[in-house]
């Protein structure tokens, strides 16, 4: 009996859990430019912004206004006057505050409705129109990537089977496709629920939604084909051919269509932010680190799940339960 060490599996779970928690827990904070933008488009409501207190300038209670007034700068170096009903706790020691604020027309300053946190540390950027919903990027984007990576792995082993005629490769190809189907479902479901709240309906036939739908169909067709062929070698050969054939047509969807057609996702033809979120400068460093860390975690998770599934398949073959 060969025993495998398990410390890295615990490390993997901790890694994914910690980065997920960071992605969920870190507060979202905008800056004064976001406030100005919201005023410009007449959007209602307040957003959280992070402000560095300027202790060199006077900060005192103004009896005329009935407000505590202080000066501050945001992350981009923009200065503003802040009005808050009472002096926030720990104000004198604090370097920065996380406040819920809106632009105040009468005073030409920022009206603080509530102080959320003192010295908040790392924050995620506020994205107009998304707000708290921007956090989906940490889970949905890695899922969509894993769908494509699993498909690539499946095709890779399909090619390996056609070259060497080793049924082990076919088994790996099928196992990768099974995991790909799982990730594909997760990406579709998370995206669909999110779309209901952000875009108004569960499904909009945005080009990128079409592309994930086609991947779902391909995975479904792959398993339908496999279940329709009895002879192993024939099944292995034909499903390998089908994955390769599907893989050469799918780039039209995943890499070309979403970019040349107008759509709702970032990176569409009518998107001015330029390129998909991953390659554009629109993502700030904190978001980038969390996203890449989770992506790496999910890739290792995929490799481990593949390994477990392959071992199960091998056992099934050896015990004769499954030919």
Interface with another protein (CB under 8 A), residue from 69, 186, 214, 305: 214
Does residue 130 touch another protein according to CB under 8 A? no
Q: How far is the CB of 175 from another protein (least distance, A)?
A: 21
> Contact at 8 Å (CB) between 214 and 184?
no
Using CB under 8 A as the binding rule, the residues of this chain from 152 to 181 that contact another protein are 162
> What gap in Å lies between CA 265 and CA 136, rounded to an integer?
13
Residue 185 in contact with another protein, rule: CB under 8 A: no
Q: Which is nearer to another protein, 135 or 208 (CB)?
A: 208
Give the interface segment with another protein, choosing from 129-137, 240-248, 286-294, 305-313 (CB under 8 A).
Answer: 240-248
Does 234 contact another protein by CB under 8 A? Answer: yes
Q: Does 94 bind another protein (CB under 8 A)?
A: no
User: Structure tokens of 2?
Assistant: 């060969």
**What are the backbone angles phi and psi of residue 114, rounded to the nearest 5°?**
-160, 140
The residue range among 182-190, 235-243, 287-295, 309-317 that interacts with another protein, by the rule CB under 8 A, is 235-243
**How many angstroms separate the CA atoms of 202 and 195, rounded?**
6
| Stretch touching another protein by CB under 8 A, among 89-97, 146-154, 221-229, 305-313 | 221-229
Closest to another protein by CB, 72 vs 263, is 263
Residue closer to another protein (CB basis): 138 or 183: 183
Indicate whether 218 belongs to the interface with another protein (CB under 8 A).
Answer: yes
Among 12, 118, 186, 241, binds another protein (CB under 8 A): 241
Residues binding another protein (CB under 8 A): 162, 210, 214, 217-218, 220-221, 224-225, 228-230, 234, 237-238, 240-242, 244-246, 248-249, 252-253, 256-257, 260
């Amino acid at each position: 009996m060969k025993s495998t060490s398990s410390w890295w599996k615990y490390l993997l779970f901790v890694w994914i859990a910690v980065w997920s928690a960071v992605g969920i827990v870190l507060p979202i904070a905008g800056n004064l430019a976001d406030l100005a933008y919201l005023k410009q488009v007449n959007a209602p409501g307040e957003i959280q912004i992070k402000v560095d207190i300027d202790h060199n300038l006077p900060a005192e209670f103004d009896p005329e206004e009935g407000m505590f007034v202080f000066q501050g700068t945001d992350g981009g170096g923009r200065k503003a006057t802040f009005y808050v009903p009472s002096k926030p706790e720990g104000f004198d020691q604090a370097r920065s505050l996380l406040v819920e604020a809106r632009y105040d027309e009468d005073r030409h300053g920022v009206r603080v409705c509530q102080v959320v946190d003192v010295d908040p540390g790392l924050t995620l950027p506020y994205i107009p129109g998304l707000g708290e919903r921007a956090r989906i990027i940490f889970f949905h984007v890695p899922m969509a990537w894993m769908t494509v990576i699993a498909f690539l792995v499946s095709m890779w082993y399909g090619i390996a089977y056609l070259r060497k005629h080793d049924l082990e490769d076919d088994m790996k190809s099928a196992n990768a496709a099974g995991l790909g189907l799982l990730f594909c479902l997760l990406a579709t479901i998370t995206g669909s629920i999110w779309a209901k709240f952000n875009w108004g309906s569960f499904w909009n036939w945005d080009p990128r939604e079409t592309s994930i739908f086609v991947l779902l169909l391909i995975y479904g067709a792959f398993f339908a084909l496999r279940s329709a062929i009895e002879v192993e070698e024939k099944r292995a050969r034909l499903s390998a051919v089908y994955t390769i054939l599907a893989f050469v047509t799918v780039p039209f969807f995943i890499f070309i269509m979403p970019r040349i057609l107008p759509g709702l996702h970032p990176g569409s033809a009518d998107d001015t932010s330029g390129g998909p979120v991953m390659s554009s400068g629109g993502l700030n460093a904190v978001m980038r680190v969390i996203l890449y860390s989770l992506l790496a975690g999910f890739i290792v998770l995929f490799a481990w799940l593949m390994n477990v599934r392959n071992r199960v398949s091998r056992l099934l073959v050896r015990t004769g339960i499954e030919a």
